[in-house]
Structure 1
Amino acid sequence: MNNWISALADLQQQGEPCVLVTIIEELGSTPRNAGSKMVVSATRTYDTIGGGHLEYKAMTIARDMLESGKQDTQLQRFNLGASLGQCCGGATVLLFEPMGQVQAQIAVFGAGHVARALVPLLASLPCRVRWIDSRELEFPEHIPSGVRKIVTDEPVDEIADLPAGCYCIVMTHNHALDLELSAALLKRNDFTYFGLIGSKTKRVKFEHRLRDRGISPQHLQRMRCPMGLSEVKGKLPVEIAISIAGEIIATYNAHFGQHTARADPITHLLPSSRRSHATT
């Protein structure tokens, strides 16, 4: 059988959800080793926790978790004996940890310096990314797994194809395009997160122009600008990218599964960013 560590890494790279099963505790005289692990995907298992009926039960529970989309870890105690078809007594405690469930569909508009630092970070998370720009040459030669590169002369048109609950990040090279994208996203208003790169001054200007286009104050509150965690300081593209990725993680941890239009601002979850991201 494949080593569980390698299997977990391979499944994560492929974007395939799985459950990591670990023996936490052995009670009584049983042949199993505490700390043993196996990985269960929808179709295969990797490594072993000792075989037998207990392993079969663990596989069944893990696949039920995958089918239902459960995200929470859970502990289960199995009393060995007739219920598990074992001849010996004692009990085993198993930990079930869901891994690799897609937490967020993300659209990144722009392929500038910050975006090129950000997208590989997002690709390493349980996310799927659409990376959109009109400039083919701005994209790196290697596009990370889980990222779909979209080159289009009309980036705003891509908004119609975004799934409800999408995480939207606007950081293009053009303020006029940023404004058009912002207006289209706020009019649709079924995103989970919308971040716009820029300073507080840029936000004030955009709010004025967006109000002139009929965007309500409630919808404007949902726009994160400046975006990124204020606790992460620095002006380097990778530092800005890390702060934005941290904000994305905080948001999907709090809102996974809430894929409906909401007027609640993200600011009740995250501290106001003091950073001024004026460039991409």
Structure 2
Amino acid sequence: MRVWRQLTDFVARHGAAALVTVHDVKGSAPRKAGAHMVVRPDGAFHGTIGGGQLEFRMLDIAREMLAAGRGPARIVDQALGPDLGQCCGGRVKILIETFDNRDLEDIAPLVEAEAAGGLFEVECRMEEGRVKRDLASAVGDDRWTGWRETHGEVRTPVLIFGAGHVGRALVLSLAPLPFSVRWLDDREDAFPSHIPPNAKAVRMRDPEAEIAEAGPTSLILVMTHDHPLDMAIVAAALRRGFPYVGLIGSATKRARFEKRFREIGIPEDTIRSLVCPIGLPGIEDKDPPIIAASVTAQLLQVRERVGQDVIPGGPPDREGDP
């Protein structure tokens, strides 16, 4: 979630908004420090701090603060077990802030930093009861006393070759998740009219060049309309050594491709790294949305394994508290 963009939109449309942040966690809790929820004056919200009674209570407090008008920030120190009956049993500090049009100028650099992509650090301090934030590079340690937050998000790049039924279902399945999708097909009018914001549809001219230019952490899925094209793309991808190269097809298709890969000199251990059939074992249904759901779960597993499971606005580097 782009927290600062969402907050700006709510303020622009509704005159005010609250930002609810998991500021600190001790023990077990539904979300890590840095999770956010942006709340409108009418109680509608975007994001989550974990759901359940904790979230309901913080929503009530945020609405009360918004009804009172823009004011000082508030820290709620909440035990989850005895106070709320949640089984997590940990303790959290929740930071709740209110914003209105007077804050849009201060928020603007954070919105811009979010739009640039990736993670960025913010240095925070209290001034007259409100949180003052500055981009870390704009301040410097000699001027800063407070705590740090990390905002933004890391999106894992995914290349999907093929805009058939499964390709379409997969792009939709990945739409709300932390992936950046490059969707490729060589056919004219292959793509639907609506493309999710995290995906870019590209008329493919040179598939091997696409593989050559992809970042080393990219995840590759091959599901074109043409088996020789599939083979050429997979061979190029295997040689690059991506964390995940997946090919749609059966065990029979895999065996045929493996035979050809050995003939062209691809090492045996590299061939074994190919994921085919794609998706989680045990899910046999071939309906495109079910294949897409299974493959999406598999990609999330790979993403976590290679160390890219970064939560937007992830855990702050605590050097102080408001």
Q: TM-score range by the shorter chain?
A: 0.5 to 0.7
Distance in 2 (alpha carbons) for counterparts of 1:20 and 1:206: 52
Structure 2 residue 223 is matched with structure 1 residue 171 = yes
Whichever residue aligns with residue 286 of structure 2, its letter is K
2:268 to 217, 227, 247: 217
Match of 1:193 in 2: 244
Closer/same/farther in 2, CA of residues 152 and 50 from structure 1, 3 Å limit: closer
1:128 to 177, 180, 201: 180
Distance in 2 (alpha carbons) for counterparts of 1:205 and 1:9: 53
CA apart distance, 1:150:
1.1
- Between 35-44 and 217-226, report the one with greater CA deviation: 35-44
Match of 2:317 in 1: none
Does the residue aligned with 2:109 lie in a helix, a strand or coil? Answer: coil
Task: Check whether the contact 2:20–2:95 (CA below 8 A) recurs between aligned residues.
Answer: no
CA apart distance, 1:38:
5.6
Distance in 2 (alpha carbons) for counterparts of 1:8 and 1:117: 32
Closer/same/farther in 2, CA of residues 105 and 38 from structure 1, 3 Å limit: farther
1:249 to 296, 300, 304: 300
Task: Check whether the contact 2:8–2:107 (CA below 8 A) recurs between aligned residues.
Answer: no
Match of 1:32 in 2: 74
Structure 2 residue 146 is matched with structure 1 residue 115 = no
Distance in 1 (alpha carbons) for counterparts of 2:268 and 2:129: 56
1:44 to 96, 110, 126: 110
Does the residue aligned with 1:224 lie in a helix, a strand or coil? Answer: coil
Distance in 2 (alpha carbons) for counterparts of 1:168 and 1:122: 14
Distance in 2 (alpha carbons) for counterparts of 1:134 and 1:214: 27
Does the residue aligned with 2:300 lie in a helix, a strand or coil? Answer: helix
CA apart distance, 1:242:
0.6
Distance in 1 (alpha carbons) for counterparts of 2:288 and 2:7: 32
Q: Which runs of 5 or more residues in structure 1 are unaligned?
A: 11-18, 65-82, 85-93, 259-280
Q: Residues 90-169 of structure 1 correspond to what in structure 2 (within 5 A)?
A: 101-169=153-221
Task: Check whether the contact 1:24–1:95 (CA below 8 A) recurs between aligned residues.
Answer: no
- Between 225-234 and 105-114, report the one with greater CA deviation: 225-234
CA RMSD of superposed structures (Å): 3.8
Task: Check whether the contact 2:222–2:247 (CA below 8 A) recurs between aligned residues.
Answer: yes
CA apart distance, 1:255:
0.6
Distance in 2 (alpha carbons) for counterparts of 1:160 and 1:200: 27
Distance in 2 (alpha carbons) for counterparts of 1:217 and 1:239: 31
Closer/same/farther in 2, CA of residues 31 and 111 from structure 1, 3 Å limit: closer
Task: Check whether the contact 2:154–2:308 (CA below 8 A) recurs between aligned residues.
Answer: no
Closer/same/farther in 2, CA of residues 38 and 198 from structure 1, 3 Å limit: farther
Match of 2:316 in 1: none
CA apart distance, 1:36:
4.1
Task: Check whether the contact 1:22–1:38 (CA below 8 A) recurs between aligned residues.
Answer: no
Whichever residue aligns with residue 110 of structure 1, its letter is G
Structure 2 residue 281 is matched with structure 1 residue 230 = yes
Task: Check whether the contact 2:125–2:131 (CA below 8 A) recurs between aligned residues.
Answer: no
Match of 2:233 in 1: 181
CA apart distance, 1:215:
0.4
Structure number with higher strand proportion: 2
CA apart distance, 1:6:
4.0
Does the residue aligned with 1:136 lie in a helix, a strand or coil? Answer: coil
Closer/same/farther in 2, CA of residues 8 and 250 from structure 1, 3 Å limit: farther
CA apart distance, 1:43:
2.7
Task: Check whether the contact 1:196–1:227 (CA below 8 A) recurs between aligned residues.
Answer: yes
Closer/same/farther in 2, CA of residues 55 and 225 from structure 1, 3 Å limit: farther
The sequence identity of aligned pairs, in percent, is 34
Closer/same/farther in 2, CA of residues 52 and 239 from structure 1, 3 Å limit: same
Where in structure 1 do 4 or more consecutive aligned residues deviate above 3 Å? 3-10, 35-42, 49-57
Closer/same/farther in 2, CA of residues 227 and 4 from structure 1, 3 Å limit: same
Whichever residue aligns with residue 181 of structure 1, its letter is I
